[in-house]
Structure 1
Amino acid sequence: MAVLVLAGEPRLWQMMLLTALGGTGQAFFSPAAEGMLMSSVRGAQASRAFAVFRMAMRGAVVGGAALGGAMVAAIRPGGVRSR
């Protein structure tokens, strides 16, 4: 998506397609990651492990957005690249 924006005028259909592909990937990743977590911990620890996992995932989303905003403010938007 960043390449589309930096390269010129992104079209709505291009952004919709990339968003759909990202959502599809997330739909496969989330259940698989949670399943792996649940298979690696036992009984009483499962609820705590799941809570820490979800907190880390949500924290990464919020922290990543905040870091991206700070980088755009410090460096011009074209200098910030996703990796």
Structure 2
Amino acid sequence: MAKYEAHPNYTVKYGDEKRKTIDFDPYGKYETSDKTEISVLNGLCPKYVTCVEADKPKSQSKATGKQSKATTEDNAPSSADASDE
């Protein structure tokens, strides 16, 4: 199961000729267990939709850990940034 947030009443159209829709509620929230919907919504993250909670597959736990470490290092202020203040 995954939970997402977007603008209130946000609608995503997908599938053959855009015949299927995902409709967010008036509070901008949506929950799903459908793998196709999760794939579609994850493709829109983080620009249009935010994933606030998701079941994580066990096979991706190592990749996620490496990514988190890289993100932390990239966000750390460098000594050059500190000298500009």
TM over 0.5: no
| Higher helix residue share | 1
The TM-score with structure 2 as length reference comes to 0.30
TM-score (norm 1): 0.30
